[in-house]
Amino acid sequence: MMTGITRYITRQLLIGTALVSVVLVFIVWLTQSLRFLQFVMSKGLPLGTWLKLTVYMLPGFFTLILPSAFFFVVLFVYNKLAMDKELVVVQAAGVSRLGVAKAATLTATGLTILGLILSSLIVPASVQGFKDLQFLIRTDVSQVLLREGAFNALGDGLTVYVREHATNGELLDLMVNDARNPQKPVTLLAARGVVREAANNTRVVMLFKGSRQERLSPEKLSVLYFDTYALDLGMVTGSEGQRNPDNRERWTWDLLSLDEKDGYAPNAVDRMRAEAHQRLTAPFAALGYALLATAWLLLGSFDRRGQWRRIGGAVLTVVVLQAAALSAMNATAKSDAFAPLMYIVAFLPIIVSAYVLARGSVHGVPLPPVIAAKNKAA
């Protein structure tokens, strides 16, 4: 059951984390989305495709940013409470250090659960959607094979000229020379066209408002004007087969269950295991970082000169933990035997920080006797 001080601190933590996370995600999203904007515009695709591509990236950004954002918000909120002497008053009233840290612990637990849902369910689905759309764009025959302002050879005897790609995906001002049947070469002119998928992995260009010219003899030319004409391009899909799925889009259970018996190389299996263990351990960084921040700020005497040293110590500890987590993941990607290291790095700061908070002192700095006695009684 939450006390008034716990609700008060929790509200500040939630508001601060939401604001910081949204701002950081927006900055990262903006920097990453600009390169996709150029990619989409070069293909002549609508802006809706660009927006869909970049929205697929958002869950992954939140997964990476939430633990660090929450860590800095905890540092800011608890440091402000210490500077305003609110923590001294709270502890003088008999609230233990663990009680003061309860707000950060509860909020971090909720963020950890959210992180597990994001990393195990939402992020794989969003990465899969992103990769599918990217693959579709890159293998779309209208964008890959039919370059604008050029004569595109699509096989023996088939040449297509497109003046321009419209933003809605249409092809403008087409000329087609179809000599696949040398005895009956055909030339088609059309104001616009659209590439559509047909049966058996083939493509058809639907031509609109044009003419079909066929030379029946050296002296005779047959001209047919049409409103709609379907031109079979045949097997010209721009890319054969299906793409290989990325580990980030596989479900966690698949990453843990697939092995050499399923046709994967040993190093590929190790990388899949590393990805799975990363999803299961990374979300606990929110809880570990929060307990670290409170352990550094809440223990010992409160003074303005000492707080910045504690903040620096907390930041340095988190940087070391992030480097250790990255090293453990890289080692696991080479050999699954190093997987326990990832769990040690994830849970060690939680255990140590909780223990230090429960003891009530750090670096040998005891609590004031009166407050220590009240904390012990509480």
What is the structure's pLDDT at 297?
86
Residue 235 CA: distances (Å) to CA of 119, 239, 240, 273, 289: 39, 10, 9, 38, 55
Specify whether the CB–CB gap between 90 and 78 falls below 8 A.
Answer: no
Q: Which pair of tokens denotes residue 202? A: 């083939």
For residue 100, give every residue at least 6 positions away whose Cβ sits within 8 Å of its Cβ, in sequence order, or none: 5, 9, 87, 90, 91, 294, 298
Phi/psi at 50 (5° precision)? -60, -45
Cβ(286)–Cβ(67) under 8 Å? yes
% of the chain at pLDDT higher than 70 = 81
Average pLDDT taken over every residue of the chain? 82
pLDDT score, position 299? 75
**Residue 14 or 195, more confident:** 14
Query: Where does the pLDDT of residue 264 fall: very low under 50, low under 70, confident under 90, or very high at 90 and above?
Result: confident
Mean per-residue pLDDT, 114-119:
94
Q: Report the alpha-carbon angle 288-276-265, nearest 5.
A: 145
**Any idea which of 223-232, 327-336, 345-354 has the lowest mean pLDDT?**
223-232
Q: CA 147, 153, 158, 159: dihedral to nearest 10 degrees?
A: 50
pLDDT above 70 for 69 = yes
pTM score over 0.85: no
Contacts 24+ apart (CB under 8 A), 363-370: 363/299, 363/300, 365/299, 365/300, 365/301, 368/301, 370/92
Name the residue ranges covered by the structural domains of the chain. 4-139+248-377, 146-234
Structure tokens at 366: 């005891």
Give mean pLDDT, residues 83-87.
Answer: 75
Pick the more confident residue, 35 or 367: 35
**Residue reference for tokens 């929450």:** 70
Residue 245's pLDDT band, with cuts at 50, 70 and 90, is: confident
pLDDT over 50 at 237, yes or no: no
Residues 6+ apart with CB under 8 A from 214: 184, 185, 186, 187, 221, 222, 224
Give the residue with greater pLDDT, 112 vs 96.
112
Question: What one-character DSSP code corresponds to residue 365?
Answer: B
d(CA 209, CA 191): 6
Extended strands (E) in the chain: 150-153, 158-165, 171-178, 186-197, 203-217, 220-234
Question: Confidence band (pLDDT; 50, 70, 90) for 239?
Answer: very low
